[in-house]
Amino acid sequence: MCSSDLKRILLSLTLGLFLFTVNAQEDKDALAKKILTELSEKTKTHKSMSIDFKLTIKSKEINESQAGKAQTKGSKFHYTTSDREVFCNGETVWSYIEEDNECYIDDAEDVSDFNPSEIMTIWDKNFNHQYVKEVSTGSNIHEIKLFPTNPKESKYHTIVLTVDRNIKQIKKVIIKTKDGLTLVFSITKFITNTEISDSVFKWQKAKHPGVSEEDNR
């Protein structure tokens, strides 16, 4: 066999392998889209969500974990951790920091902190997706990576979702921001469609006598 024939064979094999890899990834990304569509459809049926979670925050200066509880209803949310209690009625955010004996008040659109309501629907818009892997063979638990469609405008670098396809539910979300912060949100308990009063999502000053308020609106 002459060298030119060998080169043609190698080129053909290389091209075939490349096309196989591309097609395989396209199939996987189609699976990711299907999983996210199923997840969106299921999540939209939830009138409310009550979540127990573990939140880990990492950066060059920080590496800490804490447990918490959250409740969401539409754009409204309320959550507690060891150092804070946060309320949002969809328009205003009240962040009560017990150590400071202070409640900080902001417009919801101006707050970029941890938002459990946003996390539970974060894949729905402004992201492209890429299938990563099944966590373990036969588990039907999958990892999907999200990339902002407009990186310059987004505060996020990448997001990785771990989704249990058996119950169409998020198990874990890893968020990496462009400023070097990593948030790992792991769900330990998940209950839907309980009756939650709107008063849960609003700061009640009368229940916190002596707490100062700082209104940043």
> pLDDT tens for residues 45-66?
999 999 999 999 999 888 999 9
CATH number at residue 205: 2.50.20.10
Which SS3 state, helix, strand or coil, does residue 2 take? coil
Residue 1: inside a domain = no
Residue 162 DSSP label: E
**Do the beta carbons of residue 156 and residue 175 sit within 8 Å?**
yes
Exposure on the CB side of residue 56, measured as CA atoms within 13 A: 10
- Mean local confidence (pLDDT), 184-199: 95
| Cα gap 108→91, rounded to integer Å | 5
Query: What pLDDT is recorded for position 19?
Result: 38
C-beta atoms surrounding 209 within 10 Å: 6
Residue 59: inside a domain = yes
Residue 2: inside a domain = no
Residue 149: inside a domain = yes
**For residue 92, which of 210, 194, 209, 205 has the smallest C-alpha distance?**
205
pTM higher than 0.85: no
What end-to-end distance do the CA atoms of the chain give, in Å?
A: 78
Q: What is the pLDDT of residues 117-171, one digit of tens each?
A: 888 888 888 899 999 998 887 788 999 999 999 988 888 899 999 999 999 999 9
